[in-house]
Amino acid sequence: MPKQHTEKERKPLDGKKQSERKAREQKKASRGGV
């Protein structure tokens, strides 16, 4: 039971990290850093 709980909590966290990284990369691209 605890395993499922941590997994459920972890998934949204990973998604947040991914979206944050994507936003940062997009900012760099819009600035012409790529």
DSSP codes of every residue in the chain:
-HHHHHHHHHHHHHHHHHHHHHHHHHHHHHHT--
* Mean pLDDT over each residue of the chain, to the nearest integer: 75
Q: Do 5 and 11 form a contact (C-beta atoms < 8 A)?
A: no
What value does the mean pLDDT take over residues 4-30? 78
Residue labelled with tokens 């998604």: 15
Q: What is the CA radius of gyration of the chain?
A: 15
Q: What is the pTM of this model?
A: 0.45
pLDDT at 29 over 80: yes
What pLDDT was estimated at residue 7?
64
Confidence band for 16, pLDDT divided at 50, 70 and 90:
confident
Report d(CA 12, CA 33) in Å as an integer.
Answer: 29
